[in-house]
Homo-oligomer: A and B are copies of this chain.
């Protein structure tokens, strides 16, 4: 391994000078700078990571704490974070807590389980002296991940931080619910059923609020019977479809693509077709949504964008000397992807 000393000797200067040049200090003459840089490039010298870390305050490393890499949302978010960090000349280090892998769905309300993995992970990141930590959640909710008095810049991605001290970046579910409903109304629908997610869930609640706002805006009565709660799984979409179809709605807004697929199942079984006999909209824009027949119109989540945006915020807050970047909640808008599952119907209700 080639060291800074060797470079220095080869150039006939001291290692301090080489260090200064490499670190962009300007108290060096142009000529020696050129000479040293030349040698550095030729030799492919790379500073020893550990020796640097031991002396430097700023490591230019961002730690990513991922709940689970296998959640469909995580890889694109992380890819976005990494892309942005690379652009801004930051390294990343990823800790995959594998929460789902360890405990399936049993850790949601079990703070002990989370902490048993999160605390060592944080400790590790701290020992690596990362400049900032980003907690990447597997699904949206309120999470208590960093203590109020945490001394490392940190933020929560794809979920809300319980402590108001940390910036959260989430999708704008209220707007999402609003947009979908607005779209259905614009297509002539006034009897719009909803297959929501689990009732207590944050995504569910916010999207319902958006749904209500859109209805109200168009002076459409809100019928509580048309809101059915599923559990995000396909089967529940199937079950709730039955209720809604019998209620005579002309369109169903499903809060994820899985449940929309369940609606398709129901429709097929009853010789009906999405986009003809009844209109269906999903949420997530997962791969299935394009495989369904007819293609499912759905509200896409800009996951890579969320990743990029969050890294941008993180690095900004690290760079700006003041806390100009105030802690806050950032909401990323979803984008409606039109396929063929919604039919335009006459204005006569």
A contact residues vs B (CB 8 Å cutoff) = 44, 46-54, 68-70, 74-76, 78-79, 82-83, 86, 91, 93-94, 96, 98, 101, 123-124, 126-129, 234, 261, 265, 268, 286-288, 291-293
Question: How many angstroms from the CA of A192 to the CA of B65 in the assembled complex?
Answer: 48
Residues on B with beta carbons closer than 8 Å to the beta carbon of A69: 75, 78-79, 82
Question: In whole angstroms, what is the CA distance A332 to B84 when docked?
Answer: 36
Most buried by B among A44, A54, A74: A54
Chosen A-B contacts, 18 in total, with CB atoms closer than 8 Å, are A46-B126, A46-B127, A48-B127, A49-B128, A50-B51, A51-B54, A53-B53, A68-B79, A69-B78, A69-B79, A70-B75, A70-B76, A78-B96, A79-B101, A91-B124, A265-B293, A291-B291, A291-B292
Residue of B nearest to A119 (CB): B44
Tell me whether A48 and B54 are in contact (CB under 8 A).
yes
CA distance A128 to B82 in the complex (A): 18
Which B residue's beta carbon lies closest to that of A78? Answer: B69
Which residue on B lies nearest to A291, using beta carbons? B288
**Chain B residues, Cβ within 8 Å of A288:** 287-288, 291
Partner of A74, one of B47, B54, B75, B265: B75
Tell me how far the C-beta of A26 lies from the nearest C-beta in chain B, rounded to whole angstroms: 26
B49/A127 in contact, CB under 8 A: yes
Cβ–Cβ < 8 Å partners of A50 in chain B: 49-54, 128-129
